[in-house]
């Protein structure tokens, strides 16, 4: 990676949590016991994406809210050690750092969420970060920020203020069930005009309220809302649609250990490649490579020993 390819600073706005990750191989025995491998890791869609961007050598600043508890100390220490700027992670004394119980199998994960301090994100948090980073060229927003009523004003302000300052923007749609609760059309109104909208197929169908939409078709329909729509398909790769046409890439073949954070890694790879000047198809391939790396690891963060030189 050349020096010119790593100077384009990114602000990532959204969530930081502790993941209590339980990976099990058999079906859950509801009301009884199921054997699992359990670990405690850093998580949160925004924090994960920021960590993957940093692993690729992209200057990145996380804008979020954590508690003043030990969990918050640990999460910030992990992110800082990975190269993520945490100056604009506000510490809130009146709320705990968010936490998520993740029940993961090889191809699926189910999450039980306590958003905690993430609900306290405010427009002023975003303004402070934008003022302090005049070299920022892109703002990426975790959709969870919009799905939570408490943090929604901060998320909406992040998109509008970034666009007003000339930054490009992207949003990850986050999670299908809460999208259905708020309504797909409502969420699309909140993100109308973003440069890149990312969603997995379940989320894309929830956004369009079309449970049977095929991938290329839903990508084209979502591209009427955003400059480019990217639909992540897991083991089937990804498709995108936008003014330059439609593209698809296959997934990288790899043994799946844990799918947690794969979409966050995909987003980081796609954005880093786009900001480095690569075309859409190459950016999709980079996203797919990073998503594959993510599913080969436990948890949603990159291996601290990885090298950024391959981008």
192 contacts 225 by C-beta, under 8 angstroms: yes
Please choose, from the candidates 185, 215, 189, 203, the residue with its C-alpha nearest in 3D space to the C-alpha of residue 263: 203
Q: How far apart are CA 12 and CA 158, in angstroms?
A: 10
Q: Report how far residue 102's alpha carbon sits from residue 20's, in angstroms, rounded to the nearest whole number.
A: 6
- Residue 189 makes CB contacts below 8 A (sequence gap 6+) with none
8 Å CB contact between 137 and 168: yes
Question: What residues form DSSP beta bridges with 197?
Answer: 171, 229
264 is a catalytic site residue:
yes
H-state helical runs in the chain: 45-55, 70-81, 123-132, 144-147, 152-164, 176-182, 184-191, 201-208, 215-222, 262-275, 280-295
61: how many CB neighbours lie within 10 A of its CB?
Answer: 24
Identified catalytic residue from 172, 264, 279, 303:
264
Distances (CA, A) of 123 to 68, 93, 292: 20, 19, 34
The alpha carbon of residue 182 and the mean position of all alpha carbons in its chain are separated, in whole angstroms, by: 19
Minimal CA–CA distance to 58: which of 81, 85, 77?
A: 85
Catalytic residue ranges: 264
């Amino acid at each position: 990676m050349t020096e010119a390819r790593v100077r384009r600073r990114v602000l990532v706005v959204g969530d930081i949590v502790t993941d209590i990750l339980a990976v099990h191989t058999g079906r859950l025995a509801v009301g009884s016991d199921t054997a699992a491998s359990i670990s405690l890791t850093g998580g949160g869609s925004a924090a994960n994406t920021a960590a993957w961007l940093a692993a690729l050598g992209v200057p990145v600043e996380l804008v979020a809210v954590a508690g003043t508890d030990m969990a918050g100390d640990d999460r910030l220490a992990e992110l800082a050690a990975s190269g993520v700027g945490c100056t604009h992670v506000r510490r809130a004394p009146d709320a705990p750092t968010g936490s998520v119980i993740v029940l993961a199998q090889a191809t699926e994960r189910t999450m039980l969420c306590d958003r905690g301090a993430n609900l306290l994100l405010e427009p002023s948090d975003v303004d402070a970060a934008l003022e302090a980073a005049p070299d920022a060229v892109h703002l990426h927003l975790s959709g969870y920020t919009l799905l939570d009523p408490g943090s929604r004003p901060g998320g909406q302000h992040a998109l509008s203020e970034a666009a007003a300052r000339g930054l490009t923007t992207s949003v990850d749609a986050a999670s299908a069930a809460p999208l259905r609760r708020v309504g797909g059309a409502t969420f699309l109104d909140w993100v109308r005009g973003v440069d890149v909208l990312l969603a997995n197929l379940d989320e894309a169908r929830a956004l369009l309220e079309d449970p049977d939409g095929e991938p290329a078709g839903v990508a084209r329909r979502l591209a009427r809302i955003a400059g480019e729509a990217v639909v992540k398909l897991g083991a089937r790769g990804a498709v995108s649609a936008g003014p330059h046409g439609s593209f698809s890439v296959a997934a990288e073949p790899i043994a799946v250990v844990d799918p947690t954070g794969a979409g966050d890694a995909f987003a980081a790879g796609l954005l880093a490649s786009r900001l480095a000047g690569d075309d859409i198809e190459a950016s999709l391939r980079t996203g797919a490579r990073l998503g594959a790396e993510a599913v080969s690891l436990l948890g949603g963060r990159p291996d601290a020993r990885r090298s950024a030189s391959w981008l």
